[in-house]
Amino acid sequence: MIRKLILSAVMATATVAGVTSMPATAEANPPALFPRRLEVMVHRGPQGWQSHGTYKLHAQAELVAIRLRHAGNRVEIREFFSEK
């Protein structure tokens, strides 16, 4: 019985000590976002790959690429990151 009482006291002390050692607020930084640009490249036969335009959003670049593919062109979307 005394052994159970001592074990309960140790567990209660450990629980209280663990809860009080936790920080009150989270100290997180905002996520690091790097600016990027998407370049739509079109293969124009003997002229090779040429830039059709640069875009900030992938959706815009994809819409242009789809339109160019439907016109019969080979298209690539290249993504470039630049650090601040």
- On the question of pLDDT at 16 being above 70, the answer is no
What residue segments make up the domains of the chain, in order of their start?
A: 2-81
Residue of 50, 22, 56 whose CA lies nearest to 38: 56
Query: What single string gives the DSSP state of each residue in 3-37?
Result: HHHHHHHHHHHHHHHHHHTS-SS---PPP----EE
pLDDT value at position 18? 60
- On the question of pLDDT at 48 being above 90, the answer is yes
- On the question of pLDDT at 46 being above 80, the answer is yes
pTM for the model: 0.58
Q: Could you tell me how many helices (H) and strands (E) the chain has, helices first?
A: 2, 3
